[in-house]
Amino acid sequence: MNEPFSYKRIPRSRIATFDTFSLGILKHHVSALLEFDVTESRKKLQDLRRDGTNISFNAWIIKVISCIIQKHPEASAYLYNKKKLIIFNDINISIIIEKQINGIKVPIPLVLEKTNEKSALEITLEIENAKNRELTNDDIVINKQPGLLERIYYRMPGILRRYIWKIILRNPKTAFRKMGSVAVTPVGMIGKINGWFIHRSVHPVSFGIGSILKKAVVIDNDIKIREILNMTILVDHDVIDGAPMVRFLKDLTKHIETGELINGMKA
């Protein structure tokens, strides 16, 4: 007799997602749901592609984020203790990439190290190489071999796994080495969704990149059709106050919408 239901095995990499979500809801993140007019920026990227420099949109966004965080380093700082923040000189960004493992598509993190020192083209190639790399069930983070502790972690009960995460997050140097200080989740690039998704993160600052949609926008009292990017940004209020947070978001908006950093990116 056939059962009226079926079971599906959860990929091992999803277990860490459960744990980070549980801890992410405890963070004092401020959520900003923003719209960016990326019409001009996308035109500039298309011009670069016609000239032979193929920079992906996601890689360019990551480069912009890196540059703005260099200007506002407190946005990606970790809380060291009640009196100090710890700010790392390098900007390491964790990005989620969908990989197919044993016929199942699963999200796997890739830590892009020193994005402040890399060009948008180098970031593009690093992401493409990660997408093309073959993985197994034992892989947890792309380009990093799981150690003994990581392998044991997935066999622990949930309460012990989350306790390990709490230990990591109380040690900013360890947290930065494992996952960087910035997270980018480009879920909206998979398909067009008219809205925002509210993600969770244990990083000091994280970006949920939504879809690019054509919308009517008022410019100089005229209604024009523009390409609008939806993005959710979580900023840790423990490490940055309201006014610096607004200045950070204002600079980010300016560079995303004008595409200033695209100038001079030709190979």
pLDDT average, residue stretch 99-125 = 85
**With contact defined as beta carbons under 8 Å apart, do 185 and 96 qualify?**
yes
Residues 117-165: tens digit of each pLDDT: 999 999 999 999 888 877 655 555 655 656 666 777 778 888 888 888 8
Assess whether pLDDT exceeds 80 at residue 168.
yes
> If we measure between CA atoms, which residue out of 13, 47, 62 comes closest to residue 205?
62
pLDDT average, residue stretch 199-212 = 93
> If we measure between CA atoms, which residue out of 140, 129, 143 comes closest to residue 17?
140
Assess whether pLDDT exceeds 90 at residue 189.
no
Find the helix packing angle between 158-169 and 13-24, rounded to 10°: 60
Structure-model confidence comparison of residues 248 and 20, the more confident one: 248
- Output the pLDDT for position 137: 57
Domain boundary assignment for the chain: 13-262
User: DSSP string spanning 81-94?
Assistant: SSS-EE--SS--EE
> If we measure between CA atoms, which residue out of 216, 267, 239 comes closest to residue 39?
216
Whole-model pTM: value is: 0.87
pLDDT average, residue stretch 74-91 = 92
Q: Please tell me which of 112-116, 189-193, 218-222 the model is most confident about, judged by mean pLDDT.
A: 112-116
Question: Strand ranges (DSSP E) for the chain?
Answer: 29-37, 78-79, 85-86, 93-101, 104-112, 182-185, 205-219, 222-236
- Output the pLDDT for position 143: 55
> If we measure between CA atoms, which residue out of 72, 29, 23, 13 comes closest to residue 208?
29
224-259 burial, b if ≥16 CB within 10 A, otherwise e? eebbbbbbbbbbbeebbeeeebeebbebbbebbbeb
The dotted CATH code for 13-262 is 3.30.559.10
183-206 burial, b if ≥16 CB within 10 A, otherwise e? bbbbbbbeeeeeebeebbbbbbbb
C-beta neighbour count of 44 within 10 angstroms:
19
